[in-house]
Amino acid sequence: MWTFKNLAAVGLLLFGSTFLWMTPAFAGRTRPPTGTAWTLVNLLALVAVAGFTVAAWAVFKQYSWWGPVTLASAVIGLVAVIPFVVGLWQTGVGFADPGVQINLWLHLVGSAAAVAVVLLPGLHSWVVHRL
């Protein structure tokens, strides 16, 4: 059955999985870029994926701790954007590429929305009452 709870859980899981797009394997090069920035992107992106997966499970099972996990995952996701931008700048990949722009905006806006759902009392209570 497609309930709000199920859709929210699937949404968290799918959004979390998009952080894989920030890893060097998706940089569009035959040989993925290396360096400190890309290592940090790998680490932070994988932690964000794991965090959003746990948050999705918590929403699905109706555990009360889904909010802090979602907040932590979103903050980690926002932090992951910084070394991603540095890594792109170091490799000479331009920000004019539409794929790079979509990737950046998706993660900035999506993470900000997740933070808003957890921290804004009105929005948080709206979501909790529908779960």
Spatial neighbors of 109 by CB under 8 A, at least 6 apart, are none
**Mean of the per-residue pLDDT values for the chain?**
91
Question: Which pLDDT score, from 0 to 100, does residue 29 have?
Answer: 63
For the stretch 13-34, pLDDT in tens is: 999 999 999 988 887 666 778 8
Dist. CA 40–CA 4, nearest whole Å: 35
Residue owning tokens 């929403």: 59
- Residue 42, H or E segment: helix 36-60
Dist. CA 110–CA 7, nearest whole Å: 16
Q: Tell me the average pLDDT across 60-79.
A: 96
